[in-house]
Amino acid sequence: MTNSLITPVGTEAVAGLLEIENQCFRNPWSKHHFTSAINSPQMHVWVYQQKISMAGYIVLYIIEDVLVIANLAVSPDHRRKGIGEDLLNYGLDLGRNQGCGSSILDVRQSNTTAVSLYKKANYIIIGNNKGYYKNPYEDSYVMGRKI
């Protein structure tokens, strides 16, 4: 896509991240969650910048050789343009380049949109975490794939 860029961000991006986060989730990450993620040497926060606006982001970290997708969201104004897929593929490339052999994530069982995105990216359901989500209480699917 022209005039767009996936780039790591610093704490100056937290307000923009929160704006999208609050539009996307009923139990959103707080300012503290994003600040901690950005300041953590283990975590990667990448933003999809389109012209002057932030269109979406992905937050991930690596444990041993496993890439964990911790958060992924696209602003409602920018959906269905392949941005979620681009961010996910960007994360998978990063994991691959850092020697990861697999990737996992949790997703709300009712979040059919995200489940569909992950299935398209070759993740499969490998388990569930009971009561993983609050507000509303819900089990997650644990999804994973080799990378």
User: Rounded to an integer, what distance in angstroms lies between the CA atom of residue 54 and that of residue 123?
Assistant: 26
Minimum CB distance to ligand COA, residue 59 (Å): 10
Instruction: Choose the stretch contacting ligand COA; rule: CB under 6 A; options: 60-68, 92-100, 115-123, 131-139.
Output: 115-123
Instruction: Name the strands in the sheet holding 102-108, side by side, starting at the edge strand that comes first in the sequence.
Output: 4-8, 43-50, 53-63, 66-74, 102-108, 138-146, 124-133
Question: Of the listed pieces 6-14, 32-40, 72-80, 95-103, which binds ligand COA according to CB under 6 A?
Answer: 72-80
Amino acid making up residue 109: Q
Q: How far apart are CA 8 and CA 6, in angstroms?
A: 7
Residue 114 binds ligand COA, judged by CB under 6 A? yes
Name which of residues 20 to 39 contact ligand COA (CB under 6 A). 24
Q: Which stretch binds ligand COA (CB under 6 A): 6-14, 95-103, 112-120, 128-136?
A: 112-120
Q: Which is nearer to ligand COA, 35 or 109 (CB)?
A: 109
Nearer to ligand COA, 72 or 100 (CB): 72
113 is a site residue for ligand COA (CB under 6 A): yes
Cβ-count burial of 30 within 10 angstroms (0-12 exposed, 13-18 middle, 19+ buried)?
A: exposed
